[in-house]
A and B are shown apart, each in its own frame.
Chain A
Amino acid sequence: MGVYTLPRSQLHLFLAVLSKRSPVYVPVKRDAIRFEPYNGTIDFSDNAYFPIKEHFFRKRETILRFDGQKLITVRPTSSKKIFFGVRRCDLTALKHQDSIFQKQYKDPWYKAQRANTILIGYHCATPPNKYCFCDGMGLEEYQDLMFYEQKTQFLVEVTSVKGAALIKKYRRFFKKANKRITDADKHIKTRKLRKRDFNAIYDHHAWTAGVNKCLSCTACTAMCPTCYCYELHDELDTLKHGTRCRIWSSCQVKAFTRIAGNHVFREQREHRFKHRIYHQIQYFREQHGFDLCTGCGRCIAACPTRIDWVSIANKIT
């Protein structure tokens, strides 16, 4: 669909102009790198610590309101958003989330957040950190434009109709380039997760090294761009009024499987620790034919004890 160039010196001007139309979320360095509306700075030194998931599958979503036993339906609202600088793992992660929330279930709340979104990708010339393992995790093209950083310019690959329209609208920033982006250009070389039937190695003793260091703190699931578990709760504002809301939840805590009578199905940490990994790289594949995990490595980067489950799994023969 065409390749263009944008001089590096023009990037901020382009983003500033683009921001006039609708908020452009870019990776910004705060306490950590997070996606925030463009405000003059941008940080590509590492992948964002927080994935863009929370903008679509929000931490807290109001499903309905009530007044006594009267149910008040809530219409999800939608606004235009542009995301700039999303890396390939996170684009694929969004695709996986879409396949659950939009394809498998027509989730109206997710759909509202997801509608009117433009995705501008950022290709990792080299892995942004040592935890990445996206190579071999089935990354896919899911963006409207893809930016490839070079010494003095960005190569901008148009990958969708929406992307082409955007280039057309801001044509003055871009110069047509006489170049084709090949599969080799798209490839990112990282360490790899050795894939196999993980059911066969569930009971392997090597996992113990990870299990023993796990604190059940839930950082891994909170930072994961694909984890999509949730809970529904009725919250009261007054004794009569309130909301039923959907909030994120984590399989790392006992409450995840605790039923009335206080029986916990995944009582031991071992099983909770493995459940997250297995849902990502085994169970989801059994159900959908592909892995949920995209290899961004955030679960390792965010883990307070840096449990590198990929290395652990790779060592198991």
Chain B
Amino acid sequence: MIQTLVPRKVKVLHRFRETPDIVSLTLPKVGTCVPGQFYQLSVLGYGEAPISVASYTTKTVQFTIRQAGTVTNALANLKKGDTLYIRGPYGKGYPLKEYEGKNIILIGAGCGVATLRGVIDYIIHHRHKYNDVFLFFGYRNVNDIIFKKEAVQWKEVFNFKTALSKEKSTTCHDWTSGHITEVIEGLKLRTKNTGVFICGPPRMINDTVAILKKKGFTDEQLYLSTERLMYCGIGMCCHCMIRGKFTCKDGPVFRFDEIGYFKND
């Protein structure tokens, strides 16, 4: 694997504002990537940020970026036709091949849904290869919901539930109020022949895993997409180490038994 840290130039093909602080950028595809992998995107002078593949398309790749700081703000401020730099793809994606012929449950919170979006697109393209597919997404409030347009189709194809933790439900909505973990806790889920892909903040992942294990899911059925500070993306700078594993290279998608619960080590 020859890797340098020098990115290459691309131009923004399309930009879409999802929410007040989340923007989706469509860029020409660099290399071949699978859902769950990520690229390092940069605006020169601002720095680099690892961003997940949020699509499954042949010629382009979409990134959905939450404005969290220096680099992500610079990325979000780009307009159609603007220049940015990219290197990747890096890391291991979701085990989509392994779960052909089986059921898949996707659980995402906040911007973590972006990472699962690539999986959804993949499944839509290969719908006949998968049985029941469930989407459980959690946000804080209505304004945080991303992929509203796409969700219209998802509702038809999948079992789809959205939970909003900071929103009190008064009238009839297509979302429930509360944390996504609470929603999952209250559901009856079939564990047989099912894989669960989870992406969200560390605490949400821990809680979700604990609930699923109580429901009878085994470690081997649970896949987590993890987030760590990282610079190189290739297992060299060591910032993203989770004990002996590199998030960028051995992950960011880990099977639960590879890393266990998030701890502080």
| Other-chain contact of A68, B44, B48, B84, B243 (Cβ < 8 Å) | B44
Q: For the complex, is B9 an interface residue (Cβ under 8 Å from A)?
A: yes
Q: For the complex, is B20 an interface residue (Cβ under 8 Å from A)?
A: no
Q: Is the contact region of chain B dominated by helix, strand, or loop, or is it mixed?
A: loop
| A:249-272 near B, CB below 8 Å | 249, 251, 256-261, 263, 265-268, 271
Q: For the complex, is A275 an interface residue (Cβ under 8 Å from B)?
A: yes
Query: Are A69 and B83 CB-contacts (below 8 A) given A244-B44, A267-B264, A271-B265?
Result: yes
Contacts of A232 in B (CB 8 A): 5, 47-48, 231-232, 237
State in angstroms the CA–CA spacing of A256 and B231 once bound together. 11
Minimum CB distance partner of A65 in chain B: B44
Minimum CB distance partner of A67 in chain B: B44
Structural contact, A256 and B44, CB atoms closer than 8 A: no
Minimum CB distance partner of A287 in chain B: B244
Structural contact, A108 and B239, CB atoms closer than 8 A: no
Q: For the complex, is A183 an interface residue (Cβ under 8 Å from B)?
A: no
Structural contact, A268 and B6, CB atoms closer than 8 A: no
| Max count, chain A CB within 10 A of own CB: residue among B2, B7, B47, B264 | B264
Structural contact, A274 and B265, CB atoms closer than 8 A: yes
| Other-chain contact of B45, A107, A234, A249, A282 (Cβ < 8 Å) | A234
Q: For the complex, is B69 an interface residue (Cβ under 8 Å from A)?
A: yes
Distance from A282 Cβ to chain B, minimum over Cβ atoms (Å): 7
Structural contact, A265 and B228, CB atoms closer than 8 A: yes
Structural contact, A66 and B44, CB atoms closer than 8 A: yes
Minimum CB distance partner of B236 in chain A: A105
Q: For the complex, is A8 an interface residue (Cβ under 8 Å from B)?
A: no
State in angstroms the CA–CA spacing of A216 and B5 once bound together. 29
Convert B184-205 into 0s and 1s, putting 1 for each residue whose CB lies closer than 8 angstroms to a CB of A.
0000000000000000011000
Binds B, one of A23-31, A151-159, A166-174, A223-231: A223-231
Contacts of A49 in B (CB 8 A): none
Convert A66-86 into 0s and 1s, putting 1 for each residue whose CB lies closer than 8 angstroms to a CB of B.
101111010000000000000
Contacts of A107 in B (CB 8 A): 236
The A-B contact count (CB < 8 A) is 105
Q: For the complex, is B85 an interface residue (Cβ under 8 Å from A)?
A: yes
Contacts of A105 in B (CB 8 A): 1, 3, 234, 236
Contacts of B69 in A (CB 8 A): 260
| A:87-119 near B, CB below 8 Å | 100, 104-108
Structural contact, A283 and B237, CB atoms closer than 8 A: no
State in angstroms the CA–CA spacing of A171 and B228 once bound together. 56
State in angstroms the CA–CA spacing of A265 and B159 once bound together. 34
Report the contact-size class of chain B (Cβ under 8 Å from the partner): 35 or more
| Max count, chain A CB within 10 A of own CB: residue among B47, B229, B234 | B229
State in angstroms the CA–CA spacing of A73 and B85 once bound together. 13
Distance from B121 Cβ to chain A, minimum over Cβ atoms (Å): 26
| Other-chain contact of A229, B3, B83, B239 (Cβ < 8 Å) | B239
Minimum CB distance partner of A274 in chain B: B265
| A:140-178 near B, CB below 8 Å | none
| Other-chain contact of A279, B6, B7, B45, B241 (Cβ < 8 Å) | B241
State in angstroms the CA–CA spacing of A271 and B229 once bound together. 16
Q: For the complex, is B72 an interface residue (Cβ under 8 Å from A)?
A: yes
Contacts of B241 in A (CB 8 A): 275, 279, 283
Q: For the complex, is A12 an interface residue (Cβ under 8 Å from B)?
A: no
State in angstroms the CA–CA spacing of A73 and B262 once bound together. 39
Contacts of B228 in A (CB 8 A): 257, 259, 265
Query: Are A63 and B234 CB-contacts (below 8 A) given A202-B265, A234-B45, A283-B244?
Result: no
Contacts of A244 in B (CB 8 A): 5, 44, 47
Structural contact, A258 and B68, CB atoms closer than 8 A: no
Contacts of A256 in B (CB 8 A): 229, 239
Q: For the complex, is B4 an interface residue (Cβ under 8 Å from A)?
A: yes
Query: Are A282 and B244 CB-contacts (below 8 A) given A73-B6, A244-B44, A271-B265?
Result: yes
Query: Are A228 and B238 CB-contacts (below 8 A) given A234-B44, A268-B264, A286-B244?
Result: yes
Q: For the complex, is A246 an interface residue (Cβ under 8 Å from B)?
A: yes
Minimum CB distance partner of A283 in chain B: B244
Contacts of B244 in A (CB 8 A): 282-283, 286-287
Contacts of A70 in B (CB 8 A): 44
Complex A-B: 30 CB contacts under 8 Å:
A63-B5, A64-B6, A69-B43, A70-B44, A71-B9, A73-B6, A228-B236, A229-B237, A230-B237, A232-B48, A232-B232, A234-B45, A234-B47, A240-B45, A244-B5, A249-B239, A251-B238, A257-B228, A257-B239, A258-B229, A259-B229, A260-B69, A265-B202, A265-B228, A266-B264, A271-B264, A271-B265, A279-B241, A283-B244, A287-B244
Taking Cβ atoms with an 8 Å cutoff, the residues of B that contact A are: 1-7, 9, 42-48, 68-69, 72, 82-85, 201-202, 227-229, 231-232, 234, 236-239, 241, 243-244, 262, 264-265
